[in-house]
Amino acid sequence: MLGAGKVGSALGAALAQAGHRVVAASGVSDASQRRAAERLGVGTSGPEDVVAAAELILLAVPDDILPGLVAGLASTGAGLRGKLLAHTSGAYGLSVLDPATREGALPLALHPVMTFTGRDDDLNKLTGISYGVTAPEPLRPIAEALVIEMGGEPVWIADADRALYHAALASAANHMVTLIAESSDLLHRIGVEHPGRMLGPLLGAALDNVLRLGIAGLTGPVVRGDAGTVRKHVDALILTAPEAADAYIALARLTADRALAAGLLKPEEAERLLDALGGNIWT
């Protein structure tokens, strides 16, 4: 395993629970070295030593590091031939592994659709999650088996679609965190002592609605066509949190556009929202 960080150590532990033997791991930071020892039961080694010892090499490193790592392994003549080389990146597909594939490695892309914090409960989060999987046709059964062994569900993603696939996931999960943190801060500013208690039930219901109903589960002032309320929101944000106003306007326009297309918002209501948001909601 190359990269005993939050993701790599959790997946390595899941594979170990499934009966695989973790023989080596690499990691530079103190946290990675600690996870390798505590979660995987191994010390840390150099990348070439990991490749030499393992039959399945899991590359669990940040996206920006992955191309250089693969190129470096291929250029050093590490014994890659006949070995499974799997990365956990969502944005990359198989092409990033090309240098190693030319040296005889068997490429896989196995991206766990989950957020990892490095806490002890990371391993428990793996049960039942989806993995975005890309693999050459002959290796599909192996990729599928690895995911199932880790307690996950393989979802096949075409190589050309990896960037869009990852953009969809990041937009939903990462931006949600930012939006909720921003909302919590705004509530704190006006004296709400426990914003989480206020937001939790609302957000839980909203998430359930959209997962069950799609855009038909939309509620709030935009879908109601309440242009005056939307304008008050914008004005309040410009005065209090101008850094958040542009995001609110952009998301309100996207919301209005989708509501209009779904027939949830009347054209005349959309026109009023257009004026409230200060720009065209159609492209």
Cβ neighbors of 100 (< 8 A, separation 6 or more) are 70, 73, 74, 80, 85, 107
AA letter at 17: Q
For 76-120, the pLDDT digits (tens) are: 877 899 999 999 999 999 999 999 999 999 999 999 999 888 777
CA-to-CA distance for 147 and 132, rounded, in angstroms? 10
For 128-171, the pLDDT digits (tens) are: 999 999 999 999 999 999 999 999 999 999 999 999 999 999 99
CA-to-CA distance for 33 and 4, rounded, in angstroms? 7
Identify the residue whose tokens are 């006006």: 190
CB 109 within 8 A of CB 128: no
CA-to-CA distance for 274 and 268, rounded, in angstroms? 10
Mean pLDDT value of segment 30-54: 78
pLDDT of 29 reads 74
DSSP assignments along 187-230, one per residue:
HHHTT-S-HHHHHHHHHHHHHHHHHHHGGGG--SHHHHT-HHHH
Q: What is the mean pLDDT of the chain?
A: 91
Is residue 55 scored above 60 in pLDDT?
yes
Tell me, what DSSP letter sits at residue 87? E
pLDDT of 5 reads 79
Mean pLDDT value of segment 175-186: 96
Q: How confident is the model at residue 283 (pLDDT cuts 50, 70, 90)?
A: very low
CB 143 within 8 A of CB 135: yes
CB 88 within 8 A of CB 7: yes
Is residue 282 scored above 50 in pLDDT?
no
Mean pLDDT value of segment 24-50: 76
Mean pLDDT value of segment 226-244: 94
Task: Give CA separation, 267 vs 83, 91, 103, 279, in Å.
Answer: 58, 37, 59, 15
Q: How confident is the model at residue 26 (pLDDT cuts 50, 70, 90)?
A: confident
